[in-house]
Structure 1
Amino acid sequence: MLAMPGLCLLLFALIFTPTPVKGHYQVTSSRQPVVAAPGDDVVLQCLVEPQLDTVDMTVEWSRPDAKRRAKGVEYVHLYRDNREVLDMKSSSYHGRTALFADGLRHGNISLIITNVTTADEGEYKCFIPKLQGNAKSSVVRLVIDQSSNLKPNKTVPSETHLHHEATRQNYLNGGVPRSRSFTPLILICVSLIFNA
Structure 2
Amino acid sequence: MNLFLAMFLCYLAVRGGAGESNVIGSNETVRAVVGQDAILPCHLEPPFDVTTVLVIWKRNGTDVHVQRHEYVKQHENNRTSLFKDEMHRGNISLKLVNVTKQDEGSYTCHVPTLQSKVKFGNVTLVVELEENVRGNRTEGVDPENGNDQGPERTKMASPRV
Give the TM-score of the pair, scaled to structure 1.
0.58
Q: Which residue of 2 aligns with 1:25?
A: 21
Match of 1:50 in 2: 46
The residue matched to 1:104 in structure 2 has which SS? Answer: helix
The structure with more helix, counted as a fraction of residues: 1
How many residue pairs are counted as aligned between the two chains?
125
**Is the strand fraction higher in 1 or 2?**
2
Report sequence identity in percent: 35
Residue pairs, 1:1-196, within 5 angstroms: 23-63=19-59, 65=60, 74-85=62-73, 89-90=74-75, 93-149=76-132, 150=153, 152-153=155-156, 165-166=160-161
Q: Which runs of 4+ in 1 moved over 6 A?
A: none
Separation in 2, partners of 1:84, 1:30? 23
Question: Which residue number corresponds to residue 149 of structure 2?
Answer: none
Measured after TM superposition, the shift of residue 83 of structure 1 is 2.3
For 1:40 and 1:105, the matched residues in 2 are separated by: 27
| Structure 2 gap segments, 5+ residues each | 1-15, 133-152
Are the equivalent residues in 2 in contact too, given 1:48–1:107 (CA < 8 A)?
yes
Deviation for aligned residue 1:51: 0.6
TM-score under structure 2 length normalisation: 0.69
| Higher gyration radius (CA) | 1
In structure 2, how many angstroms separate the alpha carbons of the residues matched to 1:59 and 1:94?
A: 18
Separation (CA, whole Å) in 2 of partners of 1:53 and 1:81: 11
Gap runs ≥5 in structure 1: 1-20, 67-73, 167-196
Q: Give the aligned CA root-mean-square deviation in angstroms.
A: 2.4
Kept after mapping to 1: 8 A contact 2:51/2:68: no
